């Protein structure tokens, strides 16, 4: 494992840092915070996406013919690190750029690529996920939303939940059951669902942070043209695997999610609340942060050698979830009663970060992946 940038990686990091120093927005907004005006957040995020597109930074790993830079995952990781250094938080275009776009590049028709890829990069279209359901979250293949063929259209009925940003999205990538008679993984089809279509209703869900970023989405006799189908009929699970692999990689880094330096500053500012137990917890957090750094370096090293990482994204996702929840708990304890003040922000993080153990694949799902691919344990029954 090499902890240093290769000459090529170092040159790319210098280029990325120079661009961000010149163009990163000073008023970057975290759209996931409860105290952020959503309309302003969407407006500023869209403007930033346009800037990235105009200067060729909107999609690091997309092929050049699709509008990207044609670079590899090593450069993507470096780009994410530099975004965090510049204080630019996760974009509301993450689903479109880092998940839907790569999926369309692999599984989409030429017409779908022509219609969707450019608007994703330019910020014209925001995408959301229409995957999880009230009874099908960890077991995504157990979904019950039905799509029935009617000529050149599909009539869709069902309910989705935990759809981030669905209420301001233009499209949702949808999984629906198209054949209930075959094993569950074999009867699913993937669609690009226009969120403005009749019969599609997004209802924001109020979270305990006070925000309403997530939604439940109801589909009632919603009609989706067959031209919006992504991949063959009943082979949507293969499309979903591509989509979810990109999601786990996008969510696996600590960049922008947790700052050990900020926690260390809180420790120094409150020496009266630091005892042997707190010191042990701080040391454990530091060890986890460094472990995540080493895992990141391991992935970069593998990719640089042309090797394919196995379960690293799942391990990193598990580690990140532990870091951010433990960090928020400790920070709140250090601040004492002051931590409950709304303007402080630590109370908000304390109630927000448990969701990291669910979003992008639950801890249990990721542990199964690690058990099967790293430890060689038997697979769960399909």
CA 76, chain centre distance (Å): 14
* Strand 127-130 with 171-177, pairing: parallel
Length of the chain: 382
- Active site residue: 98, 216, 247, 346, which one? 247
Q: How many CB atoms lie within 10 A of CB 2?
A: 12
Residue 279 backbone dihedrals phi, psi, to 5 degrees: -60, -40
Q: Which bin fits 56, alpha (ψ -120 to 50), beta or left (φ > 0)?
A: left
Q: For residue 146, what are the β-bridge partners? A: 157, 177
Does the annotation mark 65 as catalytic?
A: no
Residues near 226 by beta carbon (within 8 Å), at least 6 away in sequence: 149, 152, 153, 154
Instruction: Provide the annotated active-site residues.
Output: 247
């Amino acid at each position: 494992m090499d902890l240093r940038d290769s000459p090529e990686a170092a040159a790319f990091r210098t280029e990325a840092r120079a661009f961000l120093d010149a163009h990163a927005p000073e008023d970057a907004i975290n759209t996931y915070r409860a105290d952020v005006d959503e309309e302003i957040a969407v407006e500023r995020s869209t403007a930033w996406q346009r800037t990235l597109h105009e200067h060729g930074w909107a999609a690091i790993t997309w092929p050049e013919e699709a509008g990207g830079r044609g670079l590899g995952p090593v450069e993507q990781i470096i780009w994410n690190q530099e975004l965090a250094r510049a204080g630019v938080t996760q974009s509301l275009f993450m689903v479109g750029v880092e998940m839907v776009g790569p999926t369309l590049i692999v599984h989409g028709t030429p017409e779908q690529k022509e219609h969707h890829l450019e608007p994703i990069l330019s910020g014209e279209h925001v995408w959301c996920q229409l995957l999880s359901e009230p009874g099908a979250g960890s077991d995504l293949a157990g979904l019950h939303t039905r799509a029935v063929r009617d000529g050149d259209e599909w009539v869709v009925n069902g309910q989705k939940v935990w759809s981030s940003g669905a209420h301001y999205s233009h499209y949702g990538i949808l999984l629906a059951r198209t054949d209930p008679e075959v094993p569950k993984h074999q009867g699913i089809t993937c669609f690009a669902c226009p969120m403005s279509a009749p019969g599609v209703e997004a209802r924001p869900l109020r979270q305990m942070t006070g925000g309403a970023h997530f939604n439940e989405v109801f589909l009632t006799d919603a009609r989706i043209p067959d031209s919006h189908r992504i991949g063959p009929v009943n082979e949507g699970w293969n499309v979903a695997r591509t989509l979810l692999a990109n999601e786990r990689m996008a969510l696996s880094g600590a960049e922008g999610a947790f700052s050990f330096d900020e926690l260390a500053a809180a420790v120094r500012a409150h020496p009266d609340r630091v005892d042997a137990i707190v010191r042990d917890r701080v040391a454990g957090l530091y060890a986890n942060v460094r472990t995540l750094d080493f895992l990141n370096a391991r992935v970069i090293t593998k990719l640089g050698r042309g090797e394919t990482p196995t379960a690293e994204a799942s391990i990193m996702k598990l580690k990140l979830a532990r870091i951010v929840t433990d960090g928020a708990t400790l920070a709140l304890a250090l601040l004492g009663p002051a931590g409950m003040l709304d303007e402080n922000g630590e109370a908000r993080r304390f109630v927000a970060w448990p969701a990291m153990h669910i979003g992008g694949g639950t801890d249990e799902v990721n542990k199964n992946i690690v058990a099967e691919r790293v430890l060689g344990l038997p697979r769960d029954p399909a």
